Amino acid sequence: MADEALAGLDEGALRKLLEVTADLAERRRIRSAIRELQRQELEREEEALASKRFRAERQDNKENWLHSQQREAEQQAALARLAGRLESMNDVEELTTLLRSAGEYEERKLIRAAIRRVRAQE
């Protein structure tokens, strides 16, 4: 069977043909055609995935921009309030307890700076 005839078949038909073919050279050509079909399918899937990924990311950025700006502003306000509270605290034990309960990196950073400030004053 010619390679052109194999190129017109889908993978399922090629696999059935592979099962009934006894000639080793013909089986090699059929397996090669199956690999080529799989490679082409993989390339199509990668292209589709890449285009969806970038398109979705841009769309998400547009949709979530306002929400992320509001969340960032709220976080900055919370950090400013925390910094004000930390200025009035002078007990290392209390600050250490607060440090252990803090979850955000920026909060922990502020608390560690306050602990260093208190220790430097002592």
DSSP H or E segment with residue 95 = helix 92-101
The answer to whether the beta carbons of residues 28 and 9 sit under 8 Å apart is no
Q: What is the pLDDT of residue 61?
A: 67
The answer to whether the beta carbons of residues 1 and 26 sit under 8 Å apart is yes
Give every CB contact of residue 9 below 8 A, 6+ residues apart in sequence.
17, 33
Q: What is the pLDDT of residue 51?
A: 72
Distance, CA of 83 to CA of 64 (rounded, Å): 28
Could you tell me the residue ranges of all domains in the chain?
3-67
Cα distances from 17 to residues 12, 20, 25, 71, 119, in angstroms, run 9, 5, 13, 60, 81
Q: What is the pLDDT of residue 67?
A: 79
The pLDDT tens digits of the residues spanning 66-101 come to: 778 888 888 888 888 988 888 888 888 999 998 999
Calculate the average pLDDT of the chain.
85
Distance, CA of 7 to CA of 4 (rounded, Å): 5
Q: What is the pLDDT of residue 59?
A: 61
Q: Read out DSSP for 72-91?
A: HHHHHHHHHHHHHHHHH---
More confident residue, 64 or 92: 92
